[in-house]
Amino acid sequence: MKLSHRLSHIVKMITPQYEHIWDCCCDHGLLGAQILNQKLTTTTHFVDIVPELMQQVEHKLQLFYPQRPNTPAHWQVHCIDVARLPLDDYQGRQLVIIAGVGGDLMIQMVQQLMNAHPSLTLDFLLCPVHHVAKLRAMLNANHCQLIDEQLICENRRYYEVLYVSRPAADQINLTSAPLISCFGDKIWQSHCDEQSIIIKRYLNKVLTHYKKTANSKSAVDISVIAGYQHIADSLE
């Protein structure tokens, strides 16, 4: 099956520096299969909590990507909650990809992974469905560093993709300024007319949503609206 526009962008953002890449909430395993095809890592891990899905994924992997005898496995299948990934069991640099889930659930997953593995430097490639501002705030609070970010449009839906790194606890500089913008930076920079249209439509959609749902007494909601409005004014 052909990768969607969104998943294709996610694969293109991955830099080939990882011993282990975890494709979480992998559904049918399309993203992980593309990672295997491009040989972006030593081992690709397919993760989902639905047993039936993982049985199907493993069957397809055995059929199309057979493991060679007496050689290290280049893929593994895990039927497990994302928050319980056994990251400490593996050596080398690791990337955790989570896409296609809501922002609130993604925040829980990422926060639990960070809390469980404070001694590891962890890279995350995240593509939430909603609540990106809350996710960005959480990443900021955990001293994550921005590697890249992109805004993409697929089937009239808009997605922010955040590529970040959380340093190990002994490498965090508490005096440094947060390196992830709470409302985005690079995603508002257009490289063509088509992208300019995507940016304006997405920004208008975000502002409309927050203005409709915000609590006028909530300082957080007010600051979020102000943050996005400042970006809209700067693009005029």
Question: Using CA atoms, how far apart are residues 28 and 79, in angstroms rounded to an integer?
Answer: 13
- pLDDT reading at 125 higher than 90: yes
Question: Using CA atoms, how far apart are residues 13 and 226, in angstroms rounded to an integer?
Answer: 30
- Express each pLDDT in 159-218 by its tens digit: 999 999 999 988 887 656 567 899 999 999 998 999 999 999 999 999 999 999 878 778
In the chain, the largest separation of any two C-alpha atoms, in whole Å, equals: 63
Q: Can you read off the two tokens belonging to residue 171?
A: 């490498």
**Percent composition of the chain: helix, strand, coil (DSSP 3-state, to 5):** 45, 20, 35
Question: Using CA atoms, how far apart are residues 21 and 152, in angstroms rounded to an integer?
Answer: 22
What is the reported pLDDT for 171? 86
Containing 75, the helix (H) or strand (E) segment is strand 75-79
High-pLDDT (> 70) share of the chain, %: 97
Question: Is residue 113 very low, low, confident or very high in pLDDT (cuts 50, 70, 90)?
Answer: very high
- pLDDT reading at 83 higher than 60: yes
What is the reported pLDDT for 16? 87
What is the reported pLDDT for 177? 57
- Express each pLDDT in 138-165 by its tens digit: 999 999 999 999 999 999 999 999 999 9
What is the reported pLDDT for 40? 95
- pLDDT reading at 69 higher than 80: yes
Question: Using CA atoms, how far apart are residues 48 and 57, in angstroms rounded to an integer?
Answer: 10
Question: Using CA atoms, how far apart are residues 229 and 45, in angstroms rounded to an integer?
Answer: 40
- Express each pLDDT in 220-236 by its tens digit: 889 999 999 999 999 98
Question: At what angle are helices 103-116 and 132-141 packed, to 10 degrees?
Answer: 20
What is the reported pLDDT for 33? 96
- Segment 110-127 shows an average pLDDT of 97
Asked if residue 29 lies in contact with residue 5, where contact means CB atoms within 8 angstroms, the answer is no
Contacts by residues 139-143 (CB-CB < 8 Å, ≥ 24 positions apart): 139/110, 139/164, 139/166, 139/180, 140/178, 140/180, 140/182, 142/111, 142/114, 142/166, 143/167, 143/172, 143/173, 143/174, 143/176, 143/178
- pLDDT reading at 128 higher than 90: yes
Place of tokens 């056994």: 86
Output the CA torsion sign for 19, 101, 186, 115: negative
What is the reported pLDDT for 174? 66
Q: Could you give the strand order of the β-sheet that contains 75-79, starting from the edge strand earlier in sequence?
A: 75-79, 41-48, 18-24, 94-99, 122-127, 157-166, 145-154
Containing 152, the helix (H) or strand (E) segment is strand 145-154
Distances (CA, A) of 204 to 115, 118, 210, 222: 35, 38, 10, 16
What is the reported pLDDT for 176? 65
Question: Using CA atoms, how far apart are residues 127 and 152, in angstroms rounded to an integer?
Answer: 10
Question: Using CA atoms, how far apart are residues 184 and 193, in angstroms rounded to an integer?
Answer: 19
For the chain, the average pLDDT equals 92
What is the reported pLDDT for 46? 97
